[in-house]
Structure 1
Amino acid sequence: MALLLCNARIQLTDTLEQMQQGTLMRKVKSKSWKKQRFFKLQDDCMTIWYQSKRTGKTESAFSISDVETVREGHQSEVLQSLAEEFPPERCFTIVFYGRRGNLDLIAGSAEEAQCWVQGLRQLIEKADKNKDGRMNFKEVQRLLKMMNVDMNEDHALRLFQDADKSESGTLEGEEFVLFYKALTQREEVLSLFQEFSEDGKKLTLLELVDFLRQEQLEDEGTEEMAMELIDKYEPSETARARHVLSADGFLMYLCSPEGSIFNPQHRALWQDMNQPLCHYFISSSHNTYLIEDQLRGQSSIEGYIRALKRGCRCLEVDCWDGPNGEPMVYHGHTFTSKIPFREVVSTLGKYAFKASDYPVILSLENHCSMEQQEVLAQQLKDILGEQLLTTTIDGHVPSHLPSPEELKHKILLKGKKIGRLEDTLDGPGDEVPDVSDDDNGAEAEEERRRAKKDKETLAQALSDCVIYCKNVSFRGFQEARSHSRPSEISSLSEAKARKLIRDAGNEFVRHNAWQLTRIYPSGMRTDSSNYSPQEMWNAGCQIVALNFQTAGTEMDLCDGLFSQNGCCGYVLKPPFMRDEETLFNPSDPSSREGPGPITLTIQVISGQQLPKVANSKDGAIIDPLVRVEIHGVPADQAHQETKYIENNGFNPRWDETLQFQLHVPELALVRFVVEDYDKTSRNDFVGQFTLAFANIKPGYRHIHLLSKDGTSIPPSSLFVHIRITEPPGPEQD
């Protein structure tokens, strides 16, 4: 709240005034892409617009709250490459939170660069500090508009006058707190509080226990939990001492992690990490080095840093011969820029285990000559050292894949390998039958032929780095079952995977119970768009590679699935997908043994301080609606939405109930989307939150919304009531 107050009262310095007049600077994407853009700070001191000098068209805008930091000088790959052309004092980089690419800029002079660097830092700092000041009614109205509140002027004036205890015509300190409390009065929470409170003023310990049991369906240790909640969220010391919860404390609890729709216990590592790798869904990125599109986008180690920071555990690297014997990484036969393989490996070594301790798979697309393949192997070993897995964990041929727990802090290379894993091990190879034992020996002959061909095109040193993830062509489930090994992996295009799901869904699920499968986007997706990962997860595919740089529903689903289990990048598949004899077929929900469908009932009650639509020029108040989407097996795919509320992004009330049937709840993801209704064109995105059905807590819950690129946008939330109804069990005699 004080943050909002401070934003409304930013004192304009010369620097900010200069930024408001606007500055012509070069926006740089590569050595050859340097275009002039006119940058301008808007009157709200929170938004920066920039437009093309040539066309005068506004190209984009960003909010100060999107900016993580400002780096001076040549502190990005692009600006480093231009070091000889432009001095460091004219260069700076704006780094954003989330998925948005950095903005590299070159000012016309060192003074202009300084003005923007200092000004941006000042604004970021102001957005971080809680400074109080005085506000008159006009400033309060401006603040309300910034906060997406379209309030009747008389009503706002009445609240203002009630809060202005000193009758000075301005609000300060405590007065502003009073005004804000009156403004944010949550009637729906108050009436819920009064329902359980005998005197309407407080919840006793037992009344709170009743609420937790009856509504929140908390059944274990509820008295201890109630005590903890009072200690943690009750603002009044007296009430805390008496073990009671005031209406303020009750609201604070409901807005806290304990009152969230996401089960807080599932935020931590809560799954068994000792099963074979193929029993997990693994967070996976495609063309990780790209931070824009597939044809002329920029290749950058920033792509690897971002993916690894988000818990991604399978990264892709495309290697090609480079100058001076140095292999390079880029998207072949396109205009994308290039980065040395050495830099990618150093970045991997540095960031691999910052967000998660569990293994990282490096998917190598090798287009290099024999000489440069030797360099690849050498660089992997020299730079990664102990982190690179170069032998099986026990020195024996595996009869099944090791677990994430056994492979902690290890980097696994996925690529081609000469011959079989047992050929490179000293240990006994009797766990896997030799193909030459076959009746006619034709398979053995074929295997020898393939090994000979690989030997001609693959450097032995690089082959030796591939242990548990040997790339093999997929030649049908029958052949895989007869001849493949757990340490082999096939990569399939999205189209091929879809066909297999359609034609042989159950066989695909069984195959994925003992061997890894990687799915990658169609080559036609030159704009780096994504396919839906859900249909691939439905078949048990573990490595479903997405373009992490592209925001949208598909990445929301990916973020939603992997936001559980300590964000470690591994999520255990349901039991019926880990059984090699399973009957489950995603297109036939009745093939999953167990009770019938469960019913998910969601009452969408209200919204709180929803953000304005990005790039909305006139700063219009939104007309919000809520859409709930179920992503799961085909029979569960569904969506429903509420009506829209006119002109209220601050505290809209819907009070509408939506209901869904889930046949395979273990695979379902639930996505809540808020949109700004538009009768003439497509609705605009406002915020979203996605989570696996398994992580939902029933009862009265807040949903803390995320922006388009997956970053949080406090204090924006939805208030809902969730009920999950299991089907009745078999009748008792």
Structure 2
Amino acid sequence: MECPQKDCFQSNANLDIMKAGSVLRKATSRMWKGQRHYKLQDDCKTIMYKSSWTLNSYSTISVGDVEAVREGHQSEVFLSMPDEFPPECCFTLVFRGRRGNLDLVASSAEEAQAWIQGMQMLIENLQNMDECEKLDQWVSDLFMRADKNKDGRISFKEVQKLLKLMNIDMNELHAHALFMMSDMSETGMLDAEEFVHFYKLLTERKEILELFQEYTSNGQALSHCDLEEFLREEQLEGERSHEHALELIHRYEPSDTAKTQQIMSVDGFLMYLTSAEGSIFNPEHQCLYQDMTQPLNHYFISSSHNTYLLDDQLKGRSSVEAYIKALKRGCRCVEVDCWDGPNGEPIVYHGHTFTSKILFKDVISTVAKYAFEASEYPLILTIENHCSVEQQTVMAEHLKNILGDMLLKITIDGKVPSVLPSPEELKGKILLKGKKMGELEECSDVDNLESSDVSDGDDDKAEDLDNQATESTNSKENLSKELSDLVIYCKNVHFSSFEHSRNHSKPYEMSSFSESKTRKLIKEAGGDFIQHNKRHLSRVYPSGLRTDSSNYCPHEMWNVGCQIVALNVQTAGLEMDLNDGLFSQNNRCGYVLKPEILRNSERFDPEFPDNRKDYCPLSLTIQVISGQQLPKLSKKDWSIVDPLVRVEIYGVPLDQTQQETKHIENNGFNPYWNETLQFVIHTPELAIVRFVVEDYDMTSKNDFIGQYTLPFSCIQQGYRHIHLLSKDGTSICPSSLFVHITIKKAS
């Protein structure tokens, strides 16, 4: 069996150098810079390395775990010792999830380029694979793992061990029968092609075959009309099913003859169902499909708390790498905690703790480089300012000099806004959120500013001036004018009450709320909070008692329209699953338009969703049919998972619920549940659905296997595959669930 990548890499000079191996220096600090021998394996998927001081001990790096390669001094380690190694010899491997980077130094610029370009080619190839190619890759990996002596053949004993690794406890007689059916050469061994045949017998999807047979008119293939009927009746595609059927045959049918005849085989049918189009997530919602011209406060904004931290907020490491990870995952609001540093340079860290410190100017340089890599829409810098006036002035200079035209220094139209500008109007701009002296009308950088808000009466303005005077007197004592002037649309103000905000606050004024304060306000005046968020931005942040950088559940804050619900993105778990799920739509641009009920004039109360005029609850029926190739949790050969599926609904209190299937004993390879779970969704616009697969344990807590989270509004009906993600939110291909989804009006 040839590696799917291998053919296109046969004569690549860079890969030849990588396969020959290189002695590269691993740089971790000024104190330790060890040498290791790194070598790309022939499968083009694995890098083996051995420390110079070990004899026969090898470790491996999977190319699939590497997200990107950075050239030169583009990591914290290299930036901390720029004179130690020439930049042309340096490169950094950036791993997916929360694994730390690997900083390497080659002996020459040519050798470094070979590894940089070679790795980039391998990564790009993996990223461009479709589901079928990924599956081929996985099967190839299985064969190579079983082929211990690398002679291109495997015995039945090796197959038995492999079945345990594949999470399947199969009857030995049945496994041997499949083995003999696949041994075409009658040698008692399987070569690569024979193993593919064995794998196909092993993974035969009876539930798919039955569905295929139900819609085929001749028992052999789906005609164009058969497929059109399936799309219309089961996938509820309606009007576009005719054209779509032709497109699917052309795209997924592996046989050219079948394509010519406009028919689809069972293999093509399976390829369609496991593709992105057969996914539970509606592809139309993955692109930029929402209106981006509404005021900024009409959007949920992907937000990070303590962005500088990679770990906990007591002893954790502060790093510019944390900003890179947050920005690359689509965060549009990041936090910078600023304190006075040595030599007149402000530093960033979690004050009064043992977290490490980084330079403010390094943070801003990192932001300048990565701000718009994942999204072109505005980035908000939340400045937690603990600096002296002198170092605040230094901060202002760094912001202006490093960010340049990206930094918003004046209102976009030269006027004081009656409403906030839109993400579309602020494309490519970085906004500063922080304290400001006085009003935007007084900003010295704006010529002839005129308020476009004509609703204020004279009495209101007089009272505002009294409040401003008090605030300005206090602020001027410890706030740099240069920094103050850079705060335009996100002036941070103390929250007094919803009534005071309604009568006196400007559109560009916003407040920050702790999670406990937010919950108290939701409980006491949830409807008023929603009305407040129709006019202003609100930021919510985790409790200071969360020293382990854990998170709160964000959905209750979203329910009342809070836009900037900041989480510790460095901490995986349910809360980040919900955040990633919400922002997985709209091209992952970090902005999601709030539903109409949180933007219009009608009062909406999450506690009583049935009081709204257009109340229309929906029934969600999920038939959990089967699972495919769930990951093995234990390295012990005899340990096979006992999987169950739980479906969790998050949203307004009335929608908070969960249901689960029974567990299947000793089968993580192709478990079959065929159980139906049913829910009533009272506020579909705010509902988020989370699928969780766990390994059942009678005596202790179930172990997590995988999850997938998405907004209810993005669900496709019909027969769908759910491609599972790890706790870190990364793909664990080819693990998936097969379900049938029905959504209709609740009776």
TM bucket, shorter chain:
0.7 to 0.9
What secondary structure does 1:446 align onto?
A: helix
Alpha-carbon distance in structure 2 between the residues aligned to 1:590 and 1:33: 63
Q: Name which of 525, 545, 549 aligns with 1:504.
A: 525
Tell whether 2:539 aligns with 1:518: yes
588-597 vs 344-353, which moves further: 588-597
Aligned residue number for residue 53 of structure 2: none
Aligned residue number for residue 602 of structure 2: 582
From the superposition, tell whether residues 372 and 259 of structure 1 become closer, same or farther in structure 2 (CA, over 3 Å): same
Aligned residue number for residue 622 of structure 2: 602
Aligned residue number for residue 580 of structure 2: 559
The alpha-carbon deviation at position 625 of structure 1 amounts to 0.5
Q: Name which of 696, 712, 721 aligns with 1:702.
A: 721
Asked if the contact 1:530/1:550 (under 8 Å) is kept, the reply is yes
Asked if the contact 1:436/1:443 (under 8 Å) is kept, the reply is no
Aligned residue number for residue 561 of structure 2: 540
The alpha-carbon deviation at position 430 of structure 1 amounts to 3.8
Q: Name which of 490, 507, 516 aligns with 1:486.
A: 507
Aligned residue number for residue 77 of structure 1: 76
Alpha-carbon distance in structure 2 between the residues aligned to 1:198 and 1:320: 73
Aligned residue number for residue 170 of structure 2: 151
Q: Name which of 215, 234, 253 aligns with 2:234.
A: 215
| Residue type at the aligned position of 1:555 | M
Pairs within 5 Å for 1:304-383: 304-383=323-402
Aligned residue number for residue 731 of structure 1: none
What secondary structure does 1:719 align onto?
A: strand
Aligned residue number for residue 311 of structure 2: 292
Asked if the contact 1:495/1:522 (under 8 Å) is kept, the reply is yes
| Residue type at the aligned position of 1:473 | H
Alpha-carbon distance in structure 2 between the residues aligned to 1:100 and 1:497: 33
Alpha-carbon distance in structure 2 between the residues aligned to 1:396 and 1:517: 23
The alpha-carbon deviation at position 77 of structure 1 amounts to 2.3
Alpha-carbon distance in structure 2 between the residues aligned to 1:711 and 1:621: 22
The alpha-carbon deviation at position 177 of structure 1 amounts to 2.0
Aligned residue number for residue 613 of structure 2: 593
Aligned residue number for residue 473 of structure 1: 494
From the superposition, tell whether residues 145 and 236 of structure 1 become closer, same or farther in structure 2 (CA, over 3 Å): same
Q: Name which of 371, 376, 386 aligns with 2:405.
A: 386
Alpha-carbon distance in structure 2 between the residues aligned to 1:540 and 1:173: 56
The alpha-carbon deviation at position 263 of structure 1 amounts to 0.2
| Residue type at the aligned position of 2:475 | D
Asked if the contact 1:470/1:489 (under 8 Å) is kept, the reply is yes
Tell whether 2:673 aligns with 1:654: yes
| Offset from partner CA, 1:493-547 (integer Å, 9 cap, x none) | 0000000000000000111011100000000000000000001000100000000
What secondary structure does 2:217 align onto?
A: coil
Asked if the contact 2:540/2:565 (under 8 Å) is kept, the reply is yes
Aligned residue number for residue 11 of structure 1: none
From the superposition, tell whether residues 336 and 49 of structure 1 become closer, same or farther in structure 2 (CA, over 3 Å): farther
The alpha-carbon deviation at position 407 of structure 1 amounts to 0.5
| Offset from partner CA, 1:695-730 (integer Å, 9 cap, x none) | 0000000000001100111111000000001146xx
Asked if the contact 1:4/1:143 (under 8 Å) is kept, the reply is no
Aligned residue number for residue 110 of structure 1: none
Aligned residue number for residue 644 of structure 2: 625
From the superposition, tell whether residues 376 and 48 of structure 1 become closer, same or farther in structure 2 (CA, over 3 Å): same
Alpha-carbon distance in structure 1 between the residues aligned to 2:76 and 2:292: 37
Alpha-carbon distance in structure 1 between the residues aligned to 2:69 and 2:5: 24
Q: Name which of 468, 482, 485 aligns with 1:461.
A: 482
Alpha-carbon distance in structure 1 between the residues aligned to 2:648 and 2:488: 41
The alpha-carbon deviation at position 616 of structure 1 amounts to 4.7
Tell whether 2:243 aligns with 1:262: no
The alpha-carbon deviation at position 80 of structure 1 amounts to 5.8
From the superposition, tell whether residues 345 and 27 of structure 1 become closer, same or farther in structure 2 (CA, over 3 Å): closer
| Offset from partner CA, 1:77-109 (integer Å, 9 cap, x none) | 247647899999x99976421233446799xxx
| Residue type at the aligned position of 1:145 | K
Asked if the contact 1:300/1:339 (under 8 Å) is kept, the reply is yes
RMSD: 4.0
Aligned residue number for residue 41 of structure 1: none
Alpha-carbon distance in structure 2 between the residues aligned to 1:671 and 1:360: 28
Structure 1 spans left out of the alignment, 5+ residues: 7-14, 17-24, 36-44, 51-59, 107-113, 729-733
Alpha-carbon distance in structure 1 between the residues aligned to 2:484 and 2:237: 54
Aligned residue number for residue 259 of structure 2: 240
Alpha-carbon distance in structure 2 between the residues aligned to 1:202 and 1:140: 32
Alpha-carbon distance in structure 2 between the residues aligned to 1:439 and 1:718: 59
Q: Name which of 121, 143, 161 aligns with 2:180.
A: 161
Alpha-carbon distance in structure 1 between the residues aligned to 2:576 and 2:671: 28
Alpha-carbon distance in structure 2 between the residues aligned to 1:151 and 1:223: 42
Calculate percent identity across the aligned residue pairs.
Answer: 62
Alpha-carbon distance in structure 1 between the residues aligned to 2:646 and 2:32: 40
Tell whether 2:610 aligns with 1:611: no
From the superposition, tell whether residues 195 and 413 of structure 1 become closer, same or farther in structure 2 (CA, over 3 Å): same
Tell whether 2:229 aligns with 1:230: no
Number of aligned residue pairs: give it: 699
| Offset from partner CA, 1:99-149 (integer Å, 9 cap, x none) | 33446799xxxxxxx9xx99x99xx99x97768832222232233222222
Pairs within 5 Å for 1:161-200: 161-200=180-219
Tell whether 2:118 aligns with 1:97: no
What secondary structure does 1:571 align onto?
A: strand
Aligned residue number for residue 322 of structure 2: 303
The alpha-carbon deviation at position 199 of structure 1 amounts to 1.9
From the superposition, tell whether residues 82 and 389 of structure 1 become closer, same or farther in structure 2 (CA, over 3 Å): closer
Alpha-carbon distance in structure 1 between the residues aligned to 2:467 and 2:624: 61
Structure 2 spans left out of the alignment, 5+ residues: 7-17, 20-24, 35-44, 51-58, 106-111, 127-136, 144-151
Tell whether 2:590 aligns with 1:569: yes
The alpha-carbon deviation at position 322 of structure 1 amounts to 1.1
The alpha-carbon deviation at position 298 of structure 1 amounts to 0.5
Aligned residue number for residue 738 of structure 2: 719
Tell whether 2:421 aligns with 1:402: yes
Aligned residue number for residue 420 of structure 1: 439
What secondary structure does 1:285 align onto?
A: coil
| Offset from partner CA, 1:267-298 (integer Å, 9 cap, x none) | 00010001000000000000111010001111
| Offset from partner CA, 1:193-230 (integer Å, 9 cap, x none) | 10111222111111111100000000132111000000
| Residue type at the aligned position of 2:302 | S
From the superposition, tell whether residues 3 and 612 of structure 1 become closer, same or farther in structure 2 (CA, over 3 Å): farther
From the superposition, tell whether residues 155 and 70 of structure 1 become closer, same or farther in structure 2 (CA, over 3 Å): farther
The alpha-carbon deviation at position 74 of structure 1 amounts to 8.3
From the superposition, tell whether residues 281 and 33 of structure 1 become closer, same or farther in structure 2 (CA, over 3 Å): farther
Asked if the contact 2:609/2:615 (under 8 Å) is kept, the reply is no
Alpha-carbon distance in structure 1 between the residues aligned to 2:223 and 2:363: 58
Alpha-carbon distance in structure 2 between the residues aligned to 1:445 and 1:232: 68
From the superposition, tell whether residues 721 and 570 of structure 1 become closer, same or farther in structure 2 (CA, over 3 Å): same
Alpha-carbon distance in structure 1 between the residues aligned to 2:523 and 2:628: 43
Alpha-carbon distance in structure 1 between the residues aligned to 2:156 and 2:67: 33
Alpha-carbon distance in structure 2 between the residues aligned to 1:696 and 1:514: 30
Asked if the contact 2:304/2:326 (under 8 Å) is kept, the reply is yes
From the superposition, tell whether residues 62 and 619 of structure 1 become closer, same or farther in structure 2 (CA, over 3 Å): farther
What secondary structure does 1:524 align onto?
A: coil
The alpha-carbon deviation at position 450 of structure 1 amounts to 1.1
| Offset from partner CA, 1:572-603 (integer Å, 9 cap, x none) | 01111012x33101111123331432110000
717-726 vs 136-145, which moves further: 136-145
Alpha-carbon distance in structure 2 between the residues aligned to 1:84 and 1:228: 57
What secondary structure does 1:257 align onto?
A: coil
What secondary structure does 1:324 align onto?
A: helix
Aligned residue number for residue 15 of structure 2: none
